[in-house]
Amino acid sequence: MRSLVFACLCLAGSVMADLAGADGYTAPAWLPGGHLQTIYASLFIAAPQVDYRRERWELPDGDFLDLDWVDGEKGTPVVVLFHGLEGSSRSYYARDLMHALQMRGWNGVVAHFRGCSGEDNRLPRAYFAGDSEEIERILRHVKAQHPTQPLYAVGVSLGGNALLKWLGENGEAARDLIARAAAVSAPLDLTAAGAALDSGFNRHVYTARFLVTLKAKALRKAEKFPGLLDADAIRASTTFREFDTLVTARLHGFVDADDYWLKVSSKPWLKFIRVPTLVLNAKNDPFLPASALPSADDVSAAVTLEQPDDGGHVAFPNAPFPGSIDWLPQRLLKHFDR
């Protein structure tokens, strides 16, 4: 994949002008298109290293959650990050945001979903794109540790969908926990996102890569809990539709992938959000077609839709070459500063 990206970059070198986006984002002229922007940002732009303080939180149900903290100055705001599919505090976007918070002296925490901190969780469940109960559990835990400080929440991709769903479900009551929120590259319409990821180039690159670790985790769970999952079918699965039917739906009480995608998509909940919330999606995101993005009529007055033409999936790389990924954390902090 790396050689393919560099070959494409060489071809793009003759482009003379930057590609203008909305609300201040401009894609580098030498990095055109959603695929290049997505892949290059994740593989070739170095994110800063961050030293975390890990908190192991034992849950009443017998499971645990791992939270990775960066500790700021006394009395400063707290930003909690909900990562994307198979993400963690090691993800480039997490390190970039946590580093930006450190530079400000703010507090930050990456809340790992179950099974994503480097150790399998204990129960016959995992994490999924609509687990709003888990979002609230984590937010209450963080708020209890910093009761007098402003709490801001960021959800990236899958984590963004879960956060938006929680915000919509809770409406005005969500203000009791958080002051502002942001969702980056959230798959707002999971049916549309699933179809996109299971087709063509996406299926052979992004989906295939995700399924390597997802299937490995599911197979370990199948071994630990005999009769729970169909291990042979999981091994043979090659699409998100197959995996979500065999694993995600089975573990979390849905009929199949279609039922899961329909019931947990956050787009229908955007009208009910009352916390000031930034919803940032690039129109060229390979994971979600631009036709599935919401319009102003689909959201409440508390929601700011930002849909630049470029940026890819959780990418938004900056010029000049070889690029940086500093635009995104600065955009998020600007939203929180208002």
Range of the domain at 171: 2-186+268-337
**pLDDT score recorded for residue 7:** 39
Same domain, 296 and 281: yes
- List 35, 83, 313, 335, catalytic entry: 313
Same domain, 291 and 331: yes
Domain boundary at 235, 264, 293, which? Answer: 264
Q: How many CB atoms lie within 10 A of CB 301?
A: 10
Is 313 marked active-site? yes
- Measure CA of the first residue to CA of the last residue in the chain; give whole Å: 40
Question: How far apart, in whole angstroms, are the C-alpha atoms of residue 78 and residue 70?
Answer: 10
- List 66, 189, 244, 285, catalytic entry: 285
Domain count, the chain: 2
Same domain, 43 and 108: yes
132 near 165, Cβ under 8 Å?
A: yes
Contacts of 265 (CB under 8 A, 6+ apart): 130, 161, 165, 187, 188, 189, 190, 191
Same domain, 168 and 46: yes
Question: How far apart, in whole angstroms, are the C-alpha atoms of residue 194 and residue 207?
Answer: 10
Same domain, 294 and 152: yes
Q: Find residue 152's DSSP bridge partners.
A: 79, 180
Question: How far apart, in whole angstroms, are the C-alpha atoms of residue 59 and residue 65?
Answer: 7
Same domain, 88 and 165: yes
**pLDDT score recorded for residue 167:** 98
Question: How far apart, in whole angstroms, are the C-alpha atoms of residue 182 and residue 193?
Answer: 19
- List 157, 237, 265, 266, catalytic entry: 157
Same domain, 108 and 235: no
Same domain, 91 and 201: no
Is 204 marked active-site? no
Same domain, 320 and 216: no
Question: How far apart, in whole angstroms, are the C-alpha atoms of residue 317 and residue 301?
Answer: 29
83 by DSSP, 3-state: which? coil
Contacts of 255 (CB under 8 A, 6+ apart): 249
Domain boundary at 264, 284, 310, which? Answer: 264
Same domain, 233 and 303: no
pLDDT (tens place) for every residue of the chain, 338 residues total: 444 443 344 333 323 223 333 447 999 999 999 999 999 999 999 999 999 999 999 999 999 999 999 999 999 999 999 999 999 999 999 999 999 999 999 999 999 999 999 999 999 999 999 999 999 999 999 999 999 999 999 999 999 999 999 999 999 999 999 999 999 999 999 999 999 999 999 999 999 999 999 999 999 999 999 999 999 999 999 999 999 999 999 999 999 999 999 999 999 999 999 999 999 999 999 999 999 999 999 999 999 999 999 999 999 999 999 999 999 999 999 999 98
Same domain, 89 and 164: yes
* CATH at 320: 3.40.50.1820
Same domain, 7 and 106: yes
Is 285 marked active-site? yes
106 near 78, Cβ under 8 Å?
A: yes
